Amino acid sequence: MKAYLFGVTPVEEAFLKEWQDQHPDDEISYTHSPLTADNLELAKGFEAVSTQQAEPLTASDLEPLAAGGIKHLALRKVGADNIDLEAAAKYGITVANVPAYSPRAIAENGLTGAMYLLRKWGYYHRKMRRGDFTRSTELMSDEIFNQTVGIVGLGRIGAAAAEMYHALGARVIGYDPVYNASLEPFLDFADFETLIKESDIVQVHIPLTPENKGMFSANEFAKMKDDAILVNQSRGELVDTAALIVALKYHEIGGAALDVLEGEEKIFGRKFEDVGSLPDEYTELINLPNVVMSPHSAYYTKMAVKNMFFQSMTDIERTLSGKKAFFKVN
């Protein structure tokens, strides 16, 4: 097969070498840069492209890719909301993602953020930097087995999160449009309204759709407990960032653990020499003691990155050999 890989990281280069050792007849080229309108010519003459970016790929990007011979677009990630899937189908490009590379990696990251906030480490760090090592009454924390944890979205990642919190003794409730009886040993199903009202920790793993964009806004924050923790490991656009900042500053909720952010493609994956040029909303969030953030890195474990790479390459191979890709999304 002939494939061009965009946005390859130094970590992925080792996995690329391993793949090439196992598939010496494959013709593979790559760049560290993400796929954009300015460099899509690099893929001309290849049969497949692979990318991991958050930047949109529209019909105007996909048409010249198809004209250049591309039949398969491999996403080394779960989300495909930045891809015009209808246009890809129109131009004969199969799009496939990697939904099951390591659900535990993301679930664990969410649990870590929740525990950080539950035990009020952000407040303690702020006090200790000022030389204050006292334990004040308002910073007394709680233990996880006394908490009600609400999981929004019960796919592979949400299910893994439910199992983890259940194992720690928490009461777990879950919301998903699709009922899954296999999760009954770990949680009780609830409607969305009940979940946000009753939960001490709300962990979000639901895919982004046009219908649920901004599903966490001022209205939802007002219904949540004033010490509730919001954990978003899914997509930033599920949360109204401006409303979240207000809720955090005025203690309508207790804290937020964020691995994703609305408009994150302008920030995450980049290095800023001048931190003053960072967006105001990000700066305001990161300076709050009841917020902990990571740059869309919940997935970033050795096992997950390797699985993402090999699963995406396997689906390229399947499509180009006339078989159906395992994780086709269009």
Active-site residue numbers?
Answer: 235, 264, 296
Q: Which residue has the tokens 């679930």?
A: 107
Cβ distance 151 to 205 under 8 Å? yes
- HSE-CB for 101 with a 13 A CA cutoff: 27
Residues 6+ apart with CB under 8 A from 150: 172, 173, 174, 175, 190, 195, 196, 198, 199, 201, 202, 203
What is the Cα–Cα distance from 50 to 42, expressed in whole angstroms?
Answer: 12
- For residue 2 the two structure tokens come to 């002939």
What is the Cα–Cα distance from 316 to 65, expressed in whole angstroms?
Answer: 15
Q: What's the sign of the alpha-carbon dihedral 270, 271, 272, 278?
A: positive
Element of type H or E holding 49: strand 48-51
Reduced to 3 states, what is the DSSP secondary structure of residue 32?
A: coil
Residues 6+ apart with CB under 8 A from 228: 196, 199, 200, 201, 202, 253, 254
Cβ distance 231 to 87 under 8 Å? no
8-state DSSP, 83:
B
DSSP letters spanning 249-311: HTTSSSEEEES--TTGGGTTT---S-GGGS-HHHHHHHT-TTEEE-SS-TT-SHHHHHHHHHH
CB atoms within 10 A of CB 223: 11
